[in-house]
Amino acid sequence: MGENKTKPTEISVAGYIDSLSDDSKRADAKALVKMMQSVTGEKPKMWGSSIIGFGSVHYKYDSGREGDTPALAFSPRKAATVVYGMGSVTQTASVLAKLGKCSMGKGCLYIKKLSDIDQSVLRSLMERARARKT
């Protein structure tokens, strides 16, 4: 079994966000940091080179593979900001419809711009996701 590639690092979260070349991605990242920090009560930490995570949960699969992952996290990618840790609370079309213009991948939520979605719904979903992990 291979070692997990995504681990906490000492990279500066503020420095990473400041290095984003797109002004709107940078603003969205700052807003998501505030929201996730408020929801989790945890300080942001870089996981790998491009994921900003909050808190940590340990997982163990039946296969024996185990590790740690952020409780909630996001990564401001070029095509969309990816929000991790929300899979179980966003699986229905009605929830996504309330959220707004976004899409769902395998356990990840893809948001092009925070202004495209209802941020109060996003916060509520984050709170529900966090409650399931504690």
User: How do the domains of the chain map onto residue ranges?
Assistant: 13-133
Q: Which residues contact 128 (CB under 8 A, 6 or more apart)?
A: 89
CATH of domain 13-133: 3.90.1150.200
Task: Kindly give the confidence (pLDDT) of every residue in the chain, 134 residues in length, as a single tens digit, with 9 standing for 90 and above.
Answer: 556 677 899 999 999 999 999 999 999 999 999 999 999 999 999 999 999 999 988 778 788 887 888 989 999 999 999 999 876 665 566 777 888 898 887 778 899 999 999 999 999 888 888 777 65
- Secondary structure class of 124 (helix, strand, coil): helix
- Give whole-number Cα distances, 98 to 21, 22, 114, in Å: 30, 27, 14
pTM score over 0.85: yes
| Cα–Cα dist 89/98, whole Å | 13
Residue with tokens 């990279």: 11
Quick one: CA torsion of 131, 114, 46, 34, rounded to 10 degrees? -60
